[in-house]
Amino acid sequence: MERNRLDISRRKILFGALQGAGVLLLSGCENIFNQLHQNRKVLSLLESVEGLNRRLLRFLTGSNKLAQEFSEKDISRTFKPNGNPPPFIMEYVMNAMSGWPSWKLEVGGLVKQPGQFSLNDLKAMPARSQITRHDCVEGWSAIGKWKGVPLTEIMKVVQPDPQAKYVVFYCMDMDTESNNFYESIDMVDALHPQTILAYEMNDQSLPIEHGAPLRLRVETQLGYKMAKYIQRIEFVENFKEIGQGKGGYWEDRGYEWYAGI
């Protein structure tokens, strides 16, 4: 008797659950997930695994491992230049046409020796050349050859303070609403030997669409971290006051700050 009554109530619950599941799947699914996605609490719960990803993957990588380097024959015929269009401002265009005579990279923030570097200054510094795979957040990959100054060489000159935790890259390109592109990386990626400020791609001067005159390469991260059209580098303790405070143009628009996955 006892068990029978229990069975009936359980059956009701079961049928209710099945019906609910059916409705959820057939019609409401899209709306429910969309609404959940717009809920601040749900979103921050989903976002909570970013820290887990960063810690676990960094732990597994250790400190001295390099990204795979390919050979000349692996270089992609097509290398899509995603992101914003090149800066369409007079100063940029004039400079691009005449070999960047008045362009200078400004480096400042929490450093002992703020400095300015012309393109020739950068080219006179120790260089690194690497043929690496670029992974776009969209899913495609392309292989290119890059030559540039390791970020550590710049750091030797400017000498960041111990409280500097992040390196912020300010760029000349902007979206249709005049938001300038910017990005940030932390010291772990800044100190990686393959993290370079590239001025050459595939043995040519860096093409306009790939960020001329100077772009960032961070081989542990997805493409959107690799700022193009760099104008200024700032060493900071945190990036709360920069842009919308998430550490980059794409981060301000919902993408992860940690783009190692």
CB of 74 to other proteins, least distance (A): 7
CB of residue 218 to other proteins, shortest distance in Å: 9
User: Cα Rg for the chain, rounded, in angstroms?
Assistant: 24
Q: Cβ closer to other proteins: 138 or 237?
A: 138
Residue 219 or 234 with smaller CB distance to other proteins: 219
As measured in angstroms, the least distance from the Cβ of 199 to other proteins is 22
- The least distance separating other proteins from the CB of residue 128, rounded to whole angstroms, comes to 16
Interior CA angle at 146 toward 145 and 150, to 5°?
Answer: 145
Count CB atoms within 10 A of the CB of residue 171.
Answer: 23
Euclidean distance between the first and the last CA atom of the chain, given in angstroms as a whole number: 56
The residues, ordered by sequence, that sit 6+ positions from 10 with a Cβ below 8 Å of its Cβ are none
Strand partners of residue 118? 104
The residues that touch other proteins, with contacts defined as CB under 8 A, are 10-11, 14, 18, 29-31, 33-34, 37, 43, 45-50, 52-53, 57-58, 60-62, 65-68, 70, 74, 76-78, 80, 133, 135-143, 219-222, 250, 253-256, 259-261
Q: Is 102 helix (H, G, I), strand (E, B) or coil?
A: coil
**Which pair of tokens denotes residue 191?**
């100190």
Closer residue to other proteins in complex, CB, 58/104 = 58
Comparing CB distances to other proteins, the nearer of 87 and 225 is 225
CB of 3 to other proteins, least distance (A): 8
State the Cα–Cα distance between residues 14 and 22, nearest whole angstrom: 12
- Minimum Å gap between C-beta 94 and other proteins is 33
Give the integer Cα–Cα distance in Å for 141 and 80.
9
How far is Cα 233 from Cα 151, in angstroms, rounded to an integer?
A: 10
Residue 55 vs 240, nearer CB to other proteins: 55
Please say which residue, 45 or 89, places its beta carbon nearer to other proteins.
45
